[in-house]
Amino acid sequence: MGLTVNGAAVSLPEDPRVSLLDLLRERQDLPGTKNGCNQGACGACTVLVDGERMLSCLALAVQFEGREITTIEGLGKPGALHPLQQAFIEHDGFQCGYCTPGQICSAVAMVQELRRGVPSQVTDDLAAEAIALDRDELRERMSGNLCRCGAYNGIVEAILATYAEAAE
Ligand code: FES
Ligand code: FES
């Protein structure tokens, strides 16, 4: 029994109390996913589960048997960065960088939610098959990812620059 992390098979922990975040950071040597609040309030621990964003601090690893987990280490690597990682560099989307892996994982999934027409609090047309990426949608949908350095303007610009084809 196990799950997949960045394409590699990983065994489920024997202790069912181990969070997905602790499995990644402490048992898989994948420290890119950050532990900010450990209580679902900051978004630093966001990873992708079968392409959907999830707070790994609130999830037990044993819930994810057979699922595909992608962390920031699986999105890009030095010399082969994900386009959004490169855009964060070019648009000053970070200062200390602690929130950045969560911001990037969250944004990657957020854009897919737009393309699937998943509405947000600020969506006007709830029946739209796809929703345009504008600043209001972006800020609303990324509001669960906090940045204590206040790099929000750069984060917004980096996401818009990367996914411009989805923008209005
Ligand atoms: Fe998971 Fe803050 S560490 S939401
Ligand atoms: Fe420091 Fe966001 S870059 S918390």
Closest C-alpha to ligand 1, atom 4: 40
pLDDT of residue 166: 44
pLDDT of residue 167: 42
> Ligand 2 mean position to 103 CA, how many Å?
9
Please indicate, yes or no, whether residues 24 and 54 belong to a single structural domain of this protein: yes
The fraction of the chain above a pLDDT of 70, given in percent, is: 98
> Ligand 1 mean position to 103 CA, how many Å?
12
Task: Read off the pLDDT of residues 68-85 as tens digits, 9 standing for 90 and up.
Answer: 999 999 999 999 999 999
The strand ranges marked E within the chain are 2-5, 8-11, 46-49, 52-55, 68-70
pLDDT of residue 164: 76
> Ligand 1 mean position to 57 CA, how many Å?
6
Please indicate, yes or no, whether residues 96 and 162 belong to a single structural domain of this protein: yes
Q: What is the mean pLDDT of residues 59-72?
A: 98
Q: Which residues contact 96 (CB under 8 A, 6 or more apart)?
A: 148, 149
Q: Which of 11, 45, 75 is the last residue of a domain?
A: 75
Q: What is the mean pLDDT of residues 58-74?
A: 98
Q: What is the mean pLDDT of residues 46-52?
A: 98
Q: Which of 26, 55, 75 is the last residue of a domain?
A: 75
Please indicate, yes or no, whether residues 87 and 161 belong to a single structural domain of this protein: yes
**pLDDT class of 100 with cuts at 50, 70, 90:** very high
CA 63 → CA 58, 78, 114, 152, distances in Å? Answer: 11, 31, 26, 32
Nearest ligand to the CA atom of 148: 2
Q: Which of 42, 75, 108 is the last residue of a domain?
A: 75
**Number of domains present in the structure of the chain:** 2
- On the question of pLDDT at 1 being above 90, the answer is no
The fraction of the chain above a pLDDT of 90, given in percent, is: 96
Please indicate, yes or no, whether residues 99 and 147 belong to a single structural domain of this protein: yes
Q: What is the mean pLDDT of residues 98-125?
A: 97
Please indicate, yes or no, whether residues 25 and 94 belong to a single structural domain of this protein: no
Q: Which residues contact 20 (CB under 8 A, 6 or more apart)?
A: 47, 54, 56, 57, 59, 60, 61, 63, 64, 69
Q: How many CA atoms lie within 13 A of 53 on its CB side?
A: 24
Whether the CB of 163 sits within 6 Å of ligand 2: no
Please indicate, yes or no, whether residues 52 and 126 belong to a single structural domain of this protein: no
Please indicate, yes or no, whether residues 95 and 163 belong to a single structural domain of this protein: yes
Please indicate, yes or no, whether residues 162 and 97 belong to a single structural domain of this protein: yes
Q: What is the mean pLDDT of residues 26-45?
A: 98
Which residues form the domain of 154? 83-167
